[in-house]
């Protein structure tokens, strides 16, 4: 059975389409499949120059290019069971992290082979053409689950009806920039994006903040999107978890799949706490497998926290690919039931948390999921005196960050920045 996938490009041609707002460059790919209504093809802008040339008397002219997708290549049970299209907004979509992530999303590797998606990609005036190039590569990859690609530079347009917002884009830390300045600059970005999400996204939209300082950017998001559930905001600490598993496996001489129940506590900074106390290797608690207490308490955490900087020294590049993989892992953890006795790490809102933490922070904790996209914080992790002291250190840092961005948090009781030390992860800002 032949189904039609339609792509369009903005060059001179025959089909007529009404122009769209200049602030909202659009690229779309639509696939009609069995069990879904056929829809007309939509226009795709692939070049700002070509678009300007193709507008005459307010009319955009675009030729249509069609490719056939044979659903007989897929098992009928698969195509019949394809779910309602999930709309995924991605910021920083022309960047290196997204260059890896978007193709994992489109392939079905993340949300499943029965989950169609629409990608809504946010860029900037400067990245407009690069973003159009990303859309072209997605088109050329012919992913059957990718129903639509939409490009824009206006978050109010790109976030419309989004089910997920992957907030990757942020300003990198420049030479000599104080951490307080970075908190303010990126905080303003996330304040604006949160307000847009609050206005136009799905009412159950889930947000994953990757742009750093991600914990505090997520907190800013929570307070500027009051109509969205606070528990739906996540800050990425899954890369830290993956790095911790790697280091424990190497030290124990085991393969990483034997390492389970590894939690990252606290901030995505050098005050993060990779939890070896509750982690297991081959079902046995780590301290009973790795008996080198000095390594566990003094070397393990710096190895995890400084991994990004070490990678840059070796390769001259930041950890874009492994970050993209960790985003995919994070999302899969929410849509795959957590195995008994295991957990995954995510930084979430602390309101009602079982560990006595300040209840107005975004703090990484061990979580589990039943596979429905939601999570619960695991409440029975062992916290000894050493671990408690480490958690308090990261908690105090997040309080200071919150005070630094108090001017971006409606109703904040304090807006004074007292951060003097530099705890940013090397190579990631």
Q: With respect to residue 86, please indicate whether it lies within any of the assigned structural domains.
A: yes
Structure tokens, 86: 């999930």
Q: Which domain holds residue 22?
A: 1-97+117-152
Answer with the residue of higher pLDDT: 251 or 33.
251
DSSP 278: S
Whole-angstrom Cα distance, residue 15 to residue 302? Answer: 59
**pLDDT, mean of residues 147-171:** 94
Whole-angstrom Cα distance, residue 121 to residue 91? Answer: 6
Q: With respect to residue 170, please indicate whether it lies within any of the assigned structural domains.
A: no
Q: With respect to residue 182, please indicate whether it lies within any of the assigned structural domains.
A: no
Same structural domain, 147 and 274: no
- Model pTM? 0.83
Q: With respect to residue 386, please indicate whether it lies within any of the assigned structural domains.
A: yes
Q: With respect to residue 165, please indicate whether it lies within any of the assigned structural domains.
A: no
Q: With respect to residue 186, please indicate whether it lies within any of the assigned structural domains.
A: no
Question: Which segment of 117-121, 169-173, 289-293, 324-328 scores lowest on mean pLDDT?
Answer: 169-173
Query: Checking DSSP bridges between strand 284-285 and strand 259-260, what pairing results, if any?
Result: unpaired
Q: With respect to residue 164, please indicate whether it lies within any of the assigned structural domains.
A: no
Whether residue 328 contacts residue 364, with contact meaning beta carbons closer than 8 Å, is answered with: no
* % the chain with pLDDT above 90: 66
Same structural domain, 148 and 242: no
Active site residues: 268
Instruction: Kindly tell me if the per-residue pLDDT of 185 is higher than 50.
Output: yes
Give the distance between the most distant pair of CA atoms in the chain: 76
Same structural domain, 146 and 273: no
CATH number of domain containing 381: 3.90.110.10
Q: With respect to residue 219, please indicate whether it lies within any of the assigned structural domains.
A: no
Residue 163: per-residue pLDDT:
98
Q: How far is CA 108 from the centre of its chain?
A: 16
Whether residue 401 contacts residue 391, with contact meaning beta carbons closer than 8 Å, is answered with: no
Same structural domain, 244 and 389: yes
Same structural domain, 17 and 140: yes
Same structural domain, 293 and 389: yes
Which pLDDT tens digit goes with each residue over 209-234?
999 999 999 999 999 999 999 999 99
Answer with the residue of higher pLDDT: 81 or 146.
146
Instruction: Kindly tell me if the per-residue pLDDT of 284 is higher than 90.
Output: yes
Whether residue 106 contacts residue 146, with contact meaning beta carbons closer than 8 Å, is answered with: yes
Same structural domain, 141 and 244: no
Same structural domain, 140 and 258: no
> Which one, of 157, 164, 186, 192, lies nearest residue 174 by Cα?
186
Instruction: Kindly tell me if the per-residue pLDDT of 141 is higher than 50.
Output: yes
Whole-angstrom Cα distance, residue 158 to residue 196? Answer: 9
Same structural domain, 6 and 148: yes
Between CA 250 and CA 386, with CA 308 as vertex, the angle to 5 degrees is: 65
Tell me if residue 117 falls in helix, strand or coil: strand
Q: How many domains does the chain have?
A: 2
Average pLDDT score over the chain:
83
Strands (DSSP E) contained in 24-106 are 30-31, 55-56, 59-62, 64-70, 86-91
Whole-angstrom Cα distance, residue 160 to residue 37? Answer: 21
Compute the Cα dihedral for 83, 88, 94, 99 and give only its sign: negative
Residue 62: per-residue pLDDT:
24
């Amino acid at each position: 059975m032949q189904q039609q996938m339609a792509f369009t490009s903005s060059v001179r041609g025959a089909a007529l389409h009404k122009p769209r707002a200049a602030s909202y460059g659009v690229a779309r790919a639509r696939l009609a499949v069995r069990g879904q209504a056929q829809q007309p093809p939509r226009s795709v802008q692939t070049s700002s120059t070509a678009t300007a040339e193709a507008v005459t008397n307010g009319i955009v002219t675009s030729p249509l290019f069609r490719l056939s997708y044979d659903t007989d290549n897929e098992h009928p049970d698969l195509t019949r069971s394809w779910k309602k299209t999930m709309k995924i907004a991605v910021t920083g979509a022309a960047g290196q992290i997204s260059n890896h992530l978007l193709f994992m999303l489109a392939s079905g590797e993340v949300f499943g082979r029965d989950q169609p998606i629409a990608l809504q990609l946010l860029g900037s005036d400067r990245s407009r053409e690069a973003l159009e190039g990303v859309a072209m590569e997605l088109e050329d990859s012919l992913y059957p689950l990718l129903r639509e690609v939409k490009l824009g530079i206006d978050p109010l347009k790109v976030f419309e009806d989004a089910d997920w917002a992957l907030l990757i884009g942020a300003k990198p830390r420049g030479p000599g920039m104080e951490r307080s300045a970075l908190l303010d600059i990126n905080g303003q970005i996330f304040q604006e994006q949160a307000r847009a999400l609050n206005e136009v996204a799905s009412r159950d939209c889930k947000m994953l903040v990757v742009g750093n300082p991600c914990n505090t950017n997520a907190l800013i998001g929570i307070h500027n999107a009051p109509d969205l559930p606070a528990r739906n905001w996540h800050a990425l600490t899954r890369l830290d978890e993956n790095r911790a598993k790697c280091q424990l496996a190497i030290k124990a001489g085991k393969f990483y799949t034997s390492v389970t129940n590894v939690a990252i506590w606290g901030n995505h900074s050098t005050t993060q706490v990779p939890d070896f106390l509750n982690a297991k290797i081959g079902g046995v608690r780590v301290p009973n497998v790795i008996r080198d207490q000095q390594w566990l308490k003094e070397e393990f955490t710096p190895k995890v926290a400084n991994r990004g900087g070490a990678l840059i020294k070796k390769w001259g590049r930041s950890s874009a690919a492994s970050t993209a993989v960790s985003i995919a892992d994070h999302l899969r953890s929410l849509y795959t039931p957590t195995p008994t006795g295991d957990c995954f790490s995510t930084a979430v809102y602390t309101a009602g948390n079982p560990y006595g933490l300040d209840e107005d922070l975004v703090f990484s904790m061990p979580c589990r999921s039943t596979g429905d996209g939601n999570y619960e914080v695991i409440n029975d992790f062992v916290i000894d005196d050493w671990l408690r002291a480490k958690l308090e250190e990261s908690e105090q840092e997040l309080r200071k960050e919150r005070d630094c961005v108090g001017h971006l948090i409606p109703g904040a009781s304090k807006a004074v920045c007292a951060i003097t030390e530099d705890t940013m992860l090397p190579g990631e800002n």
